[in-house]
Amino acid sequence: MRNELCQREDELLNALGRGFLGSELEDHIVACAPCAELHMVAGALLDDRAHSIAEAPIPTSGGMWWRMRLRQRHDAEGKARRSLLVGQAATLSVAIALMIFFFGADLMVAAREVVSTVRVSTPLLLAILTTVLLAPIAGWVAIRGK
Amino acid sequence: MIGKMILPFVIRDATISETLERESHVLMMDEEEFRAFYDRTARPLWAYLSRITGDRNEADDVLQEAFYRFYRAGARHESESHRRNSLFQIATNIVRDSARRAKHHEDVPLEEESWAGETPRSQAPVPERQASIRTDLERGMKQLDPLHREMLWLAYAQGSSHEEIAETLGVRTVSVRTTLLRARRKLAGILSEGRTNRSQEAAR
């Protein structure tokens, strides 16, 4: 690949940006291959930019500011909700851990007594235990949903 | 007793106002500053995005996302050009991420999308020759690598320096010159081809 550049490329770019080349530079472009290439490419891009800028369907700055504030508030709500959820989960975990720590042994004894007294079948006992465990979680989910 | 023991473990609920207040301590722009910056940069940014994505709707979406992320970042910049480069950098990264996701989901490739036949939303009268050049440019840009598209636009349409291009696109400054030259040569070839085809058609 040829790698040569012309020393007048910056001058040409400035002239293209101004929108006026001048006869001397135009003559140079005809004779200089890198400048002719640059003229073609940069000229097309600058022209395209001018048209795109004119037809850009952008919202007004006021509208954009309002949307951003709205979205920021929405994001803040999401963040707050996530923190709340983490807090609730942590509280629940700590509460269960403390219950087991302080009353675990008593609860186990009581449970054994109940089982031996009632003498229920294993499937029924499993159903009762599941209900007892899931009911508070279901209640918590229902409250959170509201 | 248990309540007292649990309390220290409970994470304090972050309310929305607290979150917003915390964020306001980040150096965010105020409304006046933001609107002035937006008025100066939104149209050039949209022009850049519409060309590097080849999709006007995507340009609309990326524009909004880029301004939002720029605003949320709340960074202070040394100069106006640094601030503008930062915005263009965010926008470029969004486009790249989106392209990566589209590739992953095997979406319609860029080459198949087109707004050549689409009616511009704001129709300024464009002379026929200029319209042909724009069509050639659009076709040519779509044939280039994304990095070449971005670099050509920033260098020649946006007038960015090699250092600014390197900063915006996350490449080394020394590689900008050669990559730019390669991209320029390729686009020039496509534009010349379009010009030759038009001349031949006119001659028939």
Enumerate the residues of chain A whose CB falls inside 8 A of the CB of residue B126: 51
Range B31-48 average pLDDT: 93
Range B170-182 average pLDDT: 93
Confidence of residue A128 (pLDDT cuts 50, 70, 90): confident
Residue pLDDT, tens place only, B141-159: 989 999 999 999 999 999 9
- Interface contact flag, B10 A90, Cβ < 8 Å: yes
Give the residue carrying structure tokens 């709205």: A70
Q: Which of A70, A101, A37 is nearest to B6 (CA)?
A: A101
The residues near A59 (Cβ < 8 Å, ≥ 6 apart) are: A67, B64
For residues A33 and A5, what is the distance between their CA atoms, to the nearest angstrom?
Answer: 9
> Considering chain B, what is the average pLDDT of its residues?
79
CB B49 within 8 A of CB B63: yes
For residues A65 and A129, what is the distance between their CA atoms, to the nearest angstrom?
Answer: 55
- Interface contact flag, A102 B2, Cβ < 8 Å: yes
**Is the model more confident about B108 or about A39?**
A39
Provide φ and ψ at B28, rounded to 5°: -85, 155
User: Testing the interface with B: which of A5, A9, A48 to mutate, by most B Cβ within 10 A?
Assistant: A48
Question: A–B: how many Cβ contacts below 8 A?
Answer: 154
* Predicted TM-score of the model (pTM): 0.70
Q: How far is A40 from chain B (nearest CA, A)?
A: 7
Residue pLDDT, tens place only, A17-45: 888 888 899 999 999 999 999 999 999 99
> Considering chain A, what is the average pLDDT of its residues?
87
At residue B20, the pLDDT reads 60
Long-range pairs for A13-21 at CB < 8 Å and ≥24 separation?
A: A13/A38, A13/A42, A13/B156, A13/B159, A16/A42, A16/A43, A16/A46, A17/A46, A17/B159
Range B106-123 average pLDDT: 45
User: Testing the interface with B: which of A32, A55, A67 to mutate, by most B Cβ within 10 A?
Assistant: A55
CA dihedral of A75, A81, A82, A84, whole degrees rounded to 10:
150
At residue B26, the pLDDT reads 52
Start-to-end CA distance of chain B, whole Å, equals 97
Q: How far is B138 from chain A (nearest CA, A)?
A: 9
Confidence of residue B134 (pLDDT cuts 50, 70, 90): confident
- For the stretch B14-27, what's the b/e string if a residue is b when 16 or more beta carbons lie within 10 angstroms of its beta carbon? bebeebbeeeeeee
At residue B161, the pLDDT reads 92
Q: How far is B189 from chain A (nearest CA, A)?
A: 9
Confidence of residue B115 (pLDDT cuts 50, 70, 90): very low
Range B148-171 average pLDDT: 93
- Interface contact flag, A58 B63, Cβ < 8 Å: yes
Comparing alpha-carbon positions, the chain A residue that sits nearest to B161 is A10
CB A45 within 8 A of CB B52: no
Q: How far is B96 from chain A (nearest CA, A)?
A: 21
Range A128-144 average pLDDT: 85
Enumerate the residues of chain A whose CB falls inside 8 A of the CB of residue B51: 48, 52
Cα–Cα distances in Å, from B77 out to B82, B86, B140, B154, B160? 6, 9, 35, 20, 17
For residues B172 and B170, what is the distance between their CA atoms, to the nearest angstrom?
Answer: 7
Per DSSP, B29 falls in state P
Residue pLDDT, tens place only, B62-105: 999 999 999 988 777 778 888 999 999 999 999 999 888 877 76
In a 10 Å sphere around its CB, with 0-12 CB exposed, 13-18 middle and 19+ buried, how is residue B40 labelled?
middle
At residue A121, the pLDDT reads 73
Q: How far is B106 from chain A (nearest CA, A)?
A: 28
Residue A62 has pLDDT above 90, yes or no: yes
- Interface contact flag, A49 B18, Cβ < 8 Å: no
Range B32-48 average pLDDT: 94
CB A125 within 8 A of CB A115: yes
At residue A129, the pLDDT reads 84
| Both tokens assigned to A72 | 């920021």
Comparing alpha-carbon positions, the chain B residue that sits nearest to A87 is B11
**Is the model more confident about A126 or about B105?**
A126
Comparing alpha-carbon positions, the chain A residue that sits nearest to B12 is A87
At residue A70, the pLDDT reads 92
Residue B201 has pLDDT above 90, yes or no: no
At residue B52, the pLDDT reads 93
Give the residue carrying structure tokens 């942590």: A90
Comparing alpha-carbon positions, the chain A residue that sits nearest to B47 is A52
Provide φ and ψ at B131, rounded to 5°: -65, -40
At residue B25, the pLDDT reads 53
- Interface contact flag, B18 A80, Cβ < 8 Å: yes
**Is the model more confident about B99 or about B198?**
B99
- Chain mean position to CA A78: 11
- Interface contact flag, A56 B133, Cβ < 8 Å: no
Strand ranges (E), chain B: none
**Is the model more confident about A140 or about B107?**
A140
Q: Comparing A48-62, B46-60, B68-82, B174-188, which segment has the lowest mean pLDDT?
A: B68-82
User: Testing the interface with A: which of B156, B182, B193 to mutate, by most A Cβ within 10 A?
Assistant: B156
**Helix/strand/coil for A102:** helix
Enumerate the residues of chain B whose CB falls inside 8 A of the CB of residue A70: none
Residue B122 has pLDDT above 50, yes or no: no
Q: How far is A112 from chain B (nearest CA, A)?
A: 25
Residue B123 has pLDDT above 50, yes or no: no
